[in-house]
A and B are shown apart, each in its own frame.
With several copies, the nearest count.
Chain A
Amino acid sequence: MEADPRGVLTGVHFIDGDHACCEGALAAGARFAAGYPITPSTEVVERFASRIPTIGGTFIQMEDELASSIAILGAVWGGAKAFTVTSGPGFSLMMEHIGYAAMTETPCVFVNVQRGGPSTGLPTLPAQADMMQARWGSHGDYEIIALCPNSPQECFDLMIEAFNFSEQYRTPVMFMMDEVVGHMTEKVVIPAPDRIRLYPRRHTRKAPGELNLYEPEEDLVPAMAHAGEGYRFHVTGLTHDERGYPAMNARAQDRLIGRLQEKIRRAAESLALFEEEAVEEADVVVISYGITSRVAQRAIDMARESGLRVGKFRLKTVWPFPDAHIRRLAAGARALVVPELNRGQIVREVERAAAGAARVVGVPHAGGSVHRPERILEAIREAAA
């Protein structure tokens, strides 16, 4: 399906990542946003508030993040594409509803512009320390998709992917920006609407009375309906059967939770967006994401200048974690270097996936600024040695 032209600001812009993210959402067809202000993410909804009245749709500033994160789910069941935007403390408050969205298979996007934490931490300064939270922050078992842009352009582009994935797999998607990317201004090219492919809502073709709301299709994803269409369906966060009715026993749990995970795990390969360069012949591969990938690039360049064989692997999709690709890299390289703006999160996943096949060297950084490229260079040198 093509993008609705009303939401697409085709042209060349010089805007920051927060603004580009909003444009991506609009281009993806988001017509409902609920948010609660928090630095450094608020610009996303501020722009949305200013843009939406002339496009058609709603922005509502809710009383808190609990409310924002569930208002969007209500909106989705009312027929809209919807998202919310926050940063660390607000993200923590949204955890219950991320689980509810996963459980009820409500397509939606949660944007987190990461700042320094824990707690109030460094409200205006960058970090990438909510990466594990994005995967594990809500109680119980679920599977999630999380994307990481590294430029305003990608805030636009990947936001469309985020919505597409969420619609295709009927799952909440975490859009994990960081303060630098969010506040960095660059050229953003927005294509014409007919160049933007959208994955349409998986709306049932069945008539009311025939629909079992949670009966999966072949790819394990069920088609949905919207309130007001006559289906008279039921949605619950309790463990439920294919009709959507509560079914509280281990068997129903196994069926449901198994399917919720499987529908995403099965698609892992097509969900794995990444960028790689010179990894085949590399001794050391630098694995990074978000703003850190651009800092690491300088270190990689410096290392190459000094004659080292360094490859680059940039994660755009962080969850589901691309185990297979990391295994491939580990099989080929001597060492994997993982710089990130946290004290060691994704590096643990790399370690797990590498399973001892290559050395894994983390380059932690507590946040508040980006790495000095020299620090990463050092790690590359050490790893290559």
Chain B
Amino acid sequence: MSLTEIRIAGFGGQGVILAAQVVGKAACIYQDGYATMTQSFGPEARGGSSSAQVVIASEPVLYPYVTRPDVLVVMSQEAYTRFTPELKDGGMLLVEEDMVRLSQPHSNLKVYGVPATRLAEELGKRMVLNIVMVGFFGAITGLLPQEALRQAVADSVPAAFRELNLRAFEKGYEYGLQKGLENTEDVRLLPLHSFDE
């Protein structure tokens, strides 16, 4: 049985859970496979960190947890720091370029960056950064057919936002197709702002 472990992490409000849900749904419903998605809450329901785990398989998944992810998608610095060490050797690390600064080179990993937030903002709604990320994920990993993911996106968002989200998906997917070719091991991110007053 082939089994792929995926973790998507960031902070509350970035739509981490929905992204994971789309991936799982694509596998389960539009690919006739199996998927188990679990979430880790912070101690409180609001704010703070947010992380979701998806296990995709061709047969029902028994053990529902991700222990050594094949793919890690991080959308915050904290998520990057916390979860990168878990990644399987040779695993894929997908990062939100504007939110995460790599602290070291990861020669044992395949690292890909995407400015998902910026791309989402270009579409007029920062909110859809998670779906941009899903598109990017689809293109880079090739784990699931583009169409399955597309349908899962369409099926997971309110009707009023369907169009927008589908555009976000495409945007991420395209960006991934371009970037997927170059191993962006040396993703370097803008310095984050800091204060001292």
Which chain A residues have a beta carbon within 8 Å of chain B's beta carbons? 12-14, 16, 39, 124-125, 180, 183-187, 246, 248-249, 291, 294-295, 297-298, 370, 373
Contact = CB atoms under 8 A, between A and B. Distances in A.
B16 interface: no
B63 A186 contact: no
Nearest to A298: B63
Contacts of A16: 37
B83 interface: no
A184 B28 contact: no
A294 B65 CA distance: 10
B63 A187 contact: no
Given A12-B29, A14-B28, A187-B29, 11 more contacts: A124-B43, A124-B44, A183-B39, A185-B38, A186-B24, A186-B36, A186-B37, A248-B43, A249-B43, A294-B62, A298-B62
Given A14-B24, A14-B28, A124-B43, A185 B63 contact: no
Given A180-B64, A370-B65, A14 B45 contact: no
Interface string B25-66: 100110000111111010111000000000000000111110
Interface of B: 21, 24-25, 28-29, 34-39, 41, 43-45, 61-65
Contact of A14 (B25, B39, B41, B63): B25
B93 to A, nearest CB: 24
A243 to B, nearest CB: 15
Contacts of A185: 21, 24, 35-38
B28 A186 contact: yes
A248 B45 CA distance: 12
Give the most central of A124, A246, A373: most B CB within 10 Å.
A124
A124 B41 contact: yes
A124 B35 CA distance: 22
Contacts of B35: 14, 185-187
Contacts of B63: 294-295, 297-298, 373
B62 A187 contact: no
Q: Which A-B residue pairs are the 4 nearest by beta carbons? A: A248-B43, A185-B37, A14-B25, A187-B28
A385 to B, nearest CB: 25
Contact of B38 (A184, A298, A373): A184
B155 to A, nearest CB: 9
A295 B67 CA distance: 12
A183 B38 contact: yes
Contacts of A297: 62-63
Contacts of B25: 14
A235 B62 CA distance: 40
A248 B35 CA distance: 28
Nearest to A291: B64
A187 to B, nearest CB: 4
Nearest to B43: A248
Contacts of A125: 41
Nearest to B26: A14
A291 B40 CA distance: 15
Contacts of B38: 180, 183-185
Nearest to A123: B45
Contacts of A295: 63, 65
A185 B64 CA distance: 10
Contacts of A180: 38, 64
B61 A124 contact: no
Nearest to B17: A185
Contacts of B36: 184-186
A384 B116 CA distance: 53
23 contacts: A14-B24, A14-B28, A14-B29, A16-B37, A124-B45, A125-B41, A180-B38, A185-B24, A185-B37, A185-B38, A186-B24, A186-B34, A186-B35, A186-B37, A248-B43, A248-B44, A291-B64, A294-B63, A295-B65, A297-B63, A298-B63, A370-B65, A373-B63
Given A294-B62, A298-B63, A39 B45 contact: yes
B64 A187 contact: no
A294 B62 CA distance: 5
A13 B61 contact: no
Nearest to B32: A12
